[in-house]
Amino acid sequence: MYINNEIGTIQPVKEIGAIAREHNIVFHTDAVQALGNVSIDVEELNIDLLSVSAHKIYGPKGIGALYIRRGVKIIPFIDGGAQERKKRAGTENIPAIVGFAKACEIAERDLQAHVEKLSKLRDELIDKILGSIDEVKLNGPRDNRHPGNVNVAFKYIEGEALLLMLDAVGVAASSGSACTTGALEPSHVLMSIGLGHEIAHGSLRLTIGDFTEPEDIDFIVENLVRIVKTLRAMSPLYNA
């Protein structure tokens, strides 16, 4: 995974790819979170296979792409027709493909401005959360991070209640990966970086996008301070 979808960590893909190539191992990276957020050069990064998705860069939902280095052989995903160089049979979704291509063009054109804007708002949001609320921890690195990812863990808070109260004021957030929505177990990513069950369950993931503005950051922090205070007032652990 080029960039972790939960805590935003940017992985050393180039170095991993070099190790794989040295040992004649085919190297694939899930770059869904990376597309449009970092510069990607498959040659420089020693990548053999790379998967991306349009919806992460404001393109159509339901369309993705797989880069395959020339010479790498893969088994067809769907047999039957000759579409997509006999790799995936079935009529192509041309409007979605064209929309994805246009989204990639815009993302490449605006990459620098996009990263600068999101990184500034991300850092502001992190600083204000850490500065306004006690017993809170930033999950993931401070710098080597997705420009729009903020993931924090609040002690003595139950994440589901936090999400419901944020949703009530119009803030869309999650407590882990969207792929595991509805799961009762804490995030395996947060557990893997050493968080206990209790604090992992109190995690919050916020993602900043191109349409996020400075006033949105203030709105989120203002409501977070209020909601965390309300929930902790009901928490016997916090009162203890």
> Residue 77: what pLDDT?
80
| 13-109: CATH, from 3.40.50.2300, 3.40.190.80, 3.40.50.300, 3.40.640.10 | 3.40.640.10
DSSP string, 45-99: TT-SEEEEEGGGGT--TT-EEEEE-TT-----SB-SS-HHHHTB-S---HHHHHH
Provide the pLDDT confidence category of residue 31 given band limits of 50, 70 and 90.
Answer: very high
Whether 104 sits among the annotated catalytic residues: the reply is no
Q: Where are the domains of the chain?
A: 13-109, 112-239
pLDDT tops 80 at residue 3: yes
Provide the pLDDT confidence category of residue 182 given band limits of 50, 70 and 90.
Answer: low
pLDDT tops 70 at residue 176: no
User: Does 237 or 139 have the greater pLDDT score?
Assistant: 139
Whether 23 and 17 have beta carbons less than 8 Å apart is answered as: no
> Residue 183: what pLDDT?
57
pLDDT tops 50 at residue 24: yes
The pLDDT tens digits for 40-72 are: 999 999 999 999 999 999 999 999 999 999 999
Catalytic residue among 75, 82, 172, 179: 179
> Residue 158: what pLDDT?
85
pTM above 0.75, yes or no: yes
pLDDT tops 50 at residue 177: no
The class that CATH gives domain 112-239 is alpha beta
Whether 121 and 212 have beta carbons less than 8 Å apart is answered as: yes
3-class SS at 133? coil
Closest CA to 176 of 155, 199, 156: 199
